[in-house]
Structure 1
Amino acid sequence: TTPVIGLQEKPHSFIGRLRHFVDIIDPSTLFVSERRLKECIKLLDDFKHGTLPPGVSDLQLWEAQKVKQAIIHPDTGEKIFMPFRMSGMTSDEDLRSFLFFSHWLNQSHNACVNYANRNATKPTPTAKFLQGYVGAVTSAVSIAVGLNVLIQKANKLSPATRMIIQRLVPFPAVASANICNVGLMRHNELSEGIDVLDNNGNVVGSSKIAARHAIMETAFTRVALPMPIFVLPPIIMSYLERLQFLQSNRRLLLPIHSAVCLATFSLSLPLAISLFPQMSQIEVSRLEPEIAMATDCKVVTYNKGL
């Protein structure tokens, strides 16, 4: 049977969200042509209006949905700039090098990804975007670099203790930096609120409380994101480094380590962003009184962003 094509994954199903976001981060969607995108959008529109041409398969519809959801913002209906789509997101695992330029470049990219995939039901003035960008990148880089420098200068600690702490520092550094990045790049939502929708998709009001939930949920995914990256590669590499082949070919260690990190990140990204549905729900009783007065619905929906 022909599937029902919607704009969101099933919010109650983690596996459904995971499969959805695996599609969203597929790097091949970065290279979809404008013509192909328009074909996909038209195919979905035809399906919605019951005017599909004969011979269109379920597979073609799901592929069209994958392309559209990976490229088109659900609020604005416009294309997300290619490097800032979720499929263009890069790994933070190598922050242990703590090079200032690499941190600035990485956090700048993260800031743009957070902005491009935000809830966009309210416009963000250029001045507020720039304020958020400067604040996000400055705080994130300061946290990441500062924590490592602090440990390196902790001369009172024994070398063994310092080494253990240095191995543990990257995760809280990255997690804290990611939280600051999300919060500051999307701070306009906290002051302006975001639209909440009833069961029919109609806007019933603008809620700052829903905005706070959206940003908190997104920030939590950014905390979960680096967890596998800091745990799995060291374990995998400790096993691989014992292999006779790699002991005889030490020059292969760096490319293999990079490949392991990339594979781990490819796994951790969809797992992290699948923790919460993009279109989240919240009880009306938890929102502002004026929203409760504007609808008979018990639960409303909002775009959490990614």
Structure 2
Amino acid sequence: MDSNLLYWKSQGQSFLSRVQTWVNLLDPTLLLSSDAEIQRAHSLLQGGEKSEKDAPALTLALSSVHADSGAVLPLVFRPPALLPISAPLVVASFLPHNNVKPALFWQFLLQSYSAGFNYANRNSSSEQALPQIFINRLGVRSAPVQTFFRSILPIPLSAALAFFNVFTVRSEESETGIQVFDSNGNPVGISKAAGEKAVRETALSRAALFGTTAAVPNLLVLLLQRTRLFQRNSLLVAPLRHMSVAFVLGLMIPVSFSLFPQLGTIKKEKLEEELQAAAVDGQLFYNRGL
């Protein structure tokens, strides 16, 4: 088991501890480290006890090295790059576009980047904007109906797109299975059940990320538009929406990454029969991916 997974096994089992860890790992300045520095940091952590002086190396390795292969992740698909790259794409995607083309363009860029991020951070042991289309095609003129399509429908739609993005990109893990480990970190076989659980958990975490990012700013704008200040100064709505989307996205990235343990567990009774004997402690471990 890689040193990154061993860390999550000992330190990442509570939600609050995972949030605290991810806040540190998402520091964009970590992207300035070279591949050679990352590899040295990862090598330093292989085996042995970790001391406080190893904390910077541990942070660099956890944020930049794939937990299965031990390879350095591509720069743009490392966790610290997610907010700087996706924030402008998310802001642009959640705008109430008046035309179909820009809505499709920004949603395509966002989902394409999400697919690349999901694929790069998968478990490697297995090796259209509908709201505006509806408005245009149906000739909707009612203000409440337009509000529904532009402000309410994007919330479940964004969550569903993010969920199915993960399911599509990482479908191989569910079909062929992923590596599972015993409590000592020894690989004991390939499990389809663990693969399905890993993909499902990651898909739910990504749905929570983009669904919440769509929901909170829209709700905030709908509430503030009823106040006198925003009724007199309608130009304040757009910058408020943009800033709130970026702010909520920044808050939700570490929260969504922490919803499920990075080193997941699967109970003995959920495993394939041929692997149940290896679960001497009643469970086996697997790398959920990110």
Q: Distance in 1 between matches of 2:139 and 2:225?
A: 34
Q: Which runs of 5+ in 2 are unaligned?
A: none
Equivalent-residue separation in structure 1 for 2:140 and 2:63 (angstroms): 50
The farther-off stretch of 150-159 and 12-21 is: 150-159
2:178 to 185, 188, 194: 194
Q: 2:92 aligns with which of 91, 94, 99?
A: 94
* Aligned-partner Cα distance in 2 for 1:189–1:49: 31
Aligned to 2:74: 81
The yes-or-no answer on 1:105 pairing with 2:109 is yes
Q: CA separation in 2, counterparts of 1:204 and 1:65?
A: 26
SS in 2 for 1:225: helix
Question: Where does the alignment leave 5 or more consecutive residues of structure 1 unmatched?
Answer: 124-140
1:68-91 deviations in whole A, cap 9, x for unaligned?
011000000001101112222214
Q: Does 1:285 align with 2:269?
A: yes
Q: Which residue of 2 aligns with 1:260?
A: 244
The count of residues paired between Structure 1 and Structure 2 equals 272
Instruction: Show the counterpart of 2:38.
Output: 37
Alpha-carbon distance in structure 2 between the residues aligned to 1:178 and 1:260: 20
SS in 2 for 1:226: helix
Residue identity matched to 1:121: S
Alignment of 1:1-306 (within 5 A): 6-8=6-8, 10-45=11-46, 48-49=47-48, 58=52, 60-89=53-82, 90-91=86-87, 92-96=90-94, 97=97, 99-123=103-127, 141=128, 145-155=129-139, 158-234=142-218, 257-306=241-290
Letter in 1 for 2:118: N
Offset, 1:6: 4.1
User: Kindly tell me: are residues 242 and 159 of structure 1, through their superposed partners in 2, closer, same or farther at Cα, counting changes over 3 Å?
Assistant: closer
Displacement of 1:258 in angstroms is: 3.2
TM-score of the two chains, using structure 2 as the length reference: 0.82
* Cross-structure match for 1:132: none
Query: Amino acid of the residue matched to residue 269 of structure 1?
Result: I
Distance 1:41 1:265, change over 3 A: same
Q: For the residues of structure 1 that align with 2:181 and 2:69, how far apart are their CA atoms?
A: 15
Does the 8 Å contact 2:66/2:121 carry over to 1? yes
- Asked whether the equivalents of residues 151 and 162 of structure 1 are also in contact (C-alpha less than 8 Å), the reply is yes
Greater shift in the superposed pair: 163-172 or 13-22 = 163-172
Mark the CA change 1:187 to 1:155 in structure 2 (over 3 Å): closer, same or farther: same
**Contact 2:182–2:188 (CA under 8 A) maintained in structure 1:** yes
CA contact (8 A) 2:103 2:132 kept: no
Contact 2:25 2:80 in 1 (8 A): yes
Shift in Å, 1:253: 6.8
After the TM superposition, which of the residue ranges 192-201 and 160-169 deviates more from structure 2?
Answer: 160-169
Preserved CA contact (<8 Å) 1:11 1:276: no
Task: Give the 3 Å change call, closer, same or farther, for CA 21–224 of structure 1 in structure 2.
Answer: same
Spell out, residue by residue over 1:175-204, the C-alpha distance to the aligned partner (whole angstroms, 9 max, x if none). Answer: 111112101100111121001110011111
Amino acid across the alignment from 1:182:
V
Deviation at 1:112, TM superposition (A): 0.5
Deviation at 1:62, TM superposition (A): 1.6
- How far apart, in 1, do the equivalents of 2:182 and 2:137 lie? 55
Q: Secondary structure at the match of 2:284?
A: strand
User: What CA distance in whole angstroms lies between the structure 2 residues aligned with 1:30 and 1:67?
Assistant: 9
Instruction: Give the TM-score normalised by structure 1.
Output: 0.78
- Which contiguous aligned blocks of 4+ residues in structure 1 show a shift greater than 4 angstroms? 234-244, 247-250, 252-257
CA contact (8 A) 1:7 1:74 kept: no
Task: State the match for 1:138 in structure 2.
Answer: none
Compute the displacement of 1:292 (Å). Answer: 0.9
Deviation at 1:243, TM superposition (A): 10
